[in-house]
Amino acid sequence: MKGFKFKGIVAGIKKDGKKDLGLIFSTRPASAAALFTENRVVAAPVIMGRERIKSGVCQAVVVNSGNANCFTGDQGLRDSIETAKFAAQALHIPEELVMVASTGVIGAPLPMEKFRDAMPELTSNILSKNIEKQTQIGESELEGLEDFAQSIMTTDLAMKVVVRKHKIKGEEFTVAGVAKGSGMIRPNMATMLAFICTDLDISSTLLKAALKIACDQSFNRISVDGDTSTNDTVLAMANGMSNAVVEESDDALEFEKVLNEVMLELSKMIVRDGEGATKLVKIVINGAATAQDAYKAAEAVAHSNLVKTAIYGQDPNWGRITAAAGRSGATVDPDKMDLTFGDVVLVKKGVWQGVEAEKMAAEVMKKSELDIFLNLNMGKFSDFYYFCDFSENYVKINANYRS
């Protein structure tokens, strides 16, 4: 992928000595778009980011883990601005072209001396002229991408990186996505942190439209624990350094296709890596009276702790699923519901299909990935949600998060 560099280092922000400071740099200013958390308690980098992204241009992003820089008042905002200033000076670019993002514990001020001391290492070799000659992601670039992915992790057990190539009118471009997230996942726009980079030539206006569509069908369709973060950010950058250009609506659709693929896969990675999770589950609602009803029912099932614990216990307790749909606000009739676990019909027109069907459903639930289909038989609308199960490990992880 031409024109992007990634870096991840140890700056000493985390207690465990792991990578905790990352950088994305584009050799030229890139078209940019972002979406942020809808939580009314927001972190300083979100406040700053909302203003800076209005320009539709970004060239560098500095991301730290281990400290959310949230509930830190005016000082937190000054620290975010100063972090961007450190990076801008080291990279010799305008300060307003630097975005920042943070993730970690809420309430503690940023250790700014560590940011200042780490900036030379973070930005070293970034300005190499060789970046102009890059035409594809090679092994060395992937290494930088993985270092960056590691640097933004908190309770994540696995890196979340997706790279896809595609063509528009025969010209190839690349989309690389990196995300972090494991707990505090109930996005209202994105996930905790996600960064999408492409060498496609596309305007910031079209990029934002595509990003919103992709978010609605990926990060807005996942749940781990039902909590919306204070720091949720998804940022997309397109530096136009490939020969692929979005010039008309068909081109935009081609880009949306690959962007959707990248972001959906990142979303599923987050759910698979959910704190204490052992299973990835997709609930599909069919036959809803309205599109909103389909969404409401899917969301209610995905957020139900009773459903999550039954999934963990491999117990096809179907009453918990139908009850969740019933309290969702969607129009339902229990006598019309069909419920299927994989290809096993457990409920037909509101009637339980018996012990043998339940035993077969329990076998399906042993898989690490499970699809559940609930047909309301009230109309023609469908929707979905990805979620994970709840194990005792979720409680242990979050009981000891700050220790």
The catalytic residues are 191
Tell the residue number behind the tokens 């720091």, with chain if given.
Answer: 231
Tokens 């305008």 belong to which residue? 94
End-to-end CA distance of the chain: 40
> How far is CA 348 from its chain centroid?
36
Cβ-in-10-Å burial (0-12, 13-18, 19+) of 234 comes to buried
Q: How deeply is 73 buried, as exposed, middle or buried, from its count of CB atoms within 10 A (0-12, 13-18, 19+)?
A: exposed
Chain centroid offset of residue 174 CA: 19
Neighbours of 250 (CB within 10 A): 10
Among 174, 379, 214, which residue's Cα sits nearest to residue 285?
A: 379
Determine how β-strand 233-238 pairs with β-strand 338-341: unpaired
CA pair distance 67, 262, nearest whole angstrom: 27
User: Distance of alpha carbon 95 from its chain centroid, rounded?
Assistant: 26
